Amino acid sequence: MDFTFEAISAEEYDRQRASYEPLTDALRRLIDVGIHTEVDDATVQQALTHLAAAEELLGRQQRSGRSTLRHADTGRPVAWANPAVGLRNAIAPPMRIEHEPDGTCWSEFTLGPAYEGPPGWVHGGIAALVLDHLLGEVASDGLTQPRFTGTISLRYLRGTPLGPLRAEAFVERSEGAKTFARGYLMDADGVTVEADGVFITPAWARDAG
Amino acid sequence: MDFTFEAISAEEYDRQRASYEPLTDALRRLIDVGIHTEVDDATVQQALTHLAAAEELLGRQQRSGRSTLRHADTGRPVAWANPAVGLRNAIAPPMRIEHEPDGTCWSEFTLGPAYEGPPGWVHGGIAALVLDHLLGEVASDGLTQPRFTGTISLRYLRGTPLGPLRAEAFVERSEGAKTFARGYLMDADGVTVEADGVFITPAWARDAG
């Protein structure tokens, strides 16, 4: 596959974000309201007419999706489409990830009814998605280094309630092509899920170090 | 929290599914088209008007979400809201899970651009979501037994391409309150991710065995 990189200025990023973020937020609200609606079929049909009109409007001009946007100032990927952090992907909560000067990462975010597994609790696989992403970010210096998940192990200490949550991750050590990262998912009472991951620098990127 | 169970007949299930599944499918298409749209701000505003109208219509009558629907004939939870398999949750691909007489589970499903991590590849955390769910299903006899994820370990053998995929899971063995399950994510060329999970029967459910 042929992928290219495209730089985006801070101004253009802000302009696109101001225009498209409300759209993604509207889709997130629709996902939630769609899960639990009990309106009759005639009302569903009316809603479908509006959704089809929105789809037609938004489909008039589409990015190819084959080029990766990077911030012109930091070189970090924009990751707008990412299912964990993407501001333009309605599947993402989204997590907004903070990078500390010491290399650790953290994020505070809210998981609502769309992420529910057992009644009232976050789906275990969503906890895995959140932690896999955060460990990958910390292991790859904010996605600036090519590092792929080799293995990840998750220990579920107790249920994670829906609502406001925090996740943290840090690099434990590096050995050759392997980077060992560790992270936690937490509610107000402490850790609910622990994660350990081994991330691999691919062979083609090893000489560059 | 106070949760109740509510049985749904096959006829009522079919009626609701016929009415609400096209709605979820429309939202899935909007998620995809929303990620890559490049239309100008005036067109975004027009789309937002339609989305707000749909949200208002669907919000007129909402289930509380506090009761769990079960199929009257099989006793299995409907899991309509589930982020991995929920026919009414636009976040879910959705996986439709087949239960074999020998207890194994499998699912064939397609992961499109909304599940992308590295360009062209499935996000590692989405592979984890899919496998955590399938291992949980097989360990709990199709969600009829209360069993919660204790630990899950994933080995990423190579990248998983976006597109049609298959996942399989089976129970390896049980020891007291622990059920050991194993599963695979596969593309047309074979296994891309392996998963091992330990699922725990909670203390309150152990006497019932």
Nearest CA of chain B to the CA of A139: how many Å?
14
Residue B1 has a pLDDT of: 41
CA gyration radius for chain A? 19
Whether the complex's predicted ipTM is more than 0.90 is answered with: yes
Q: Which of B24, B40, B50, B148 to mutate to test the interface with A (most CBs of A within 10 A)?
A: B50
Lowest-pLDDT range of A126-135, A140-149, B8-17, B122-131: A140-149
Taking residue B119's Cβ as centre, other Cβ atoms within 10 Å add up to 17
**Which chain B residues are closer than 8 Å to A84 by Cβ?**
123, 125
CB contact under 8 A, A129 and B133: no
Tokens standing for residue A126? 């969503």
Instruction: Mention every residue, 6+ apart, whose C-beta is less than 8 A from residue B98.
Output: B105, B106, B107
Amino acid code (one letter) for B183: G
Distance from CA of B51 to the nearest CA of A (A): 6
Q: Distance, in angstroms, between B99 CA and closest chain A CA?
A: 19
How far apart (Å, rounded) are the C-alpha atoms in residues A174 and A199? 9
Asked if B6 and B72 touch (Cβ cutoff 8 Å), the reply is no
- Domains located in chain A, CATH noted: 1-87 (no CATH), 95-206 (3.10.129.10)
Measured in residues, chain B has a length of: 209
Spatial distance between the Cα atoms of B7 and B71, rounded to a whole number of angstroms? 6
Nearest by CB to residue A54, choosing from B47, B133, B150, is B47
Contact across the interface for A68 and B119, Cβ inside 8 Å: yes
Q: In angstroms, what separates the C-alpha of B102 from chain A's closest C-alpha?
A: 25
Distance of CA A40 to the CA centre of its chain: 34
pLDDT tens, residue by residue, B28-80: 999 999 999 999 999 999 999 999 999 999 999 998 766 678 888 887 888 89
Full 3-state SS string of chain B = CCCEEEEECHHHHHHHHHHHHHHHHHHHHHHHHHHHECCCHHHHHHHHHHHHHHHHHHCCCECCCCEEEEECCCCCECCCCCCCCCCCCCCCCCCCCEECCCCCEEEEEEECHHHECCCCEECHHHHHHHHHHHHHHHHCCCCCCCCEEEEEEEEECCCCECEEEEEEEEEEEEECCEEEEEEEEEECCEEEEEEEEEEECCHHHHCCC
Residue A38 and residue B61: Cβ atoms within 8 Å?
A: yes
Among B48, B68, B119, select the one facing A3 at the smallest CB separation.
Answer: B119
Confidence of residue A71 (pLDDT cuts 50, 70, 90): confident
Task: Indicate the average pLDDT of chain A.
Answer: 92
Task: Give the span between the Cα atoms of A166 and A186, in whole angstroms.
Answer: 5
Least confident of B73-77, B141-145, B171-175: B141-145
Q: Is B57 exposed, middle or buried (0-12, 13-18, 19+ CB in 10 A)?
A: buried
In the predicted structure, residue B209 carries a pLDDT above the cut 60: no
pLDDT digits (tens, 9 = 90+) for A75-111: 788 889 999 999 999 999 999 999 999 989 999 999 9
> Taking CB atoms and an 8 Å cutoff, what residues of chain B touch A29?
55
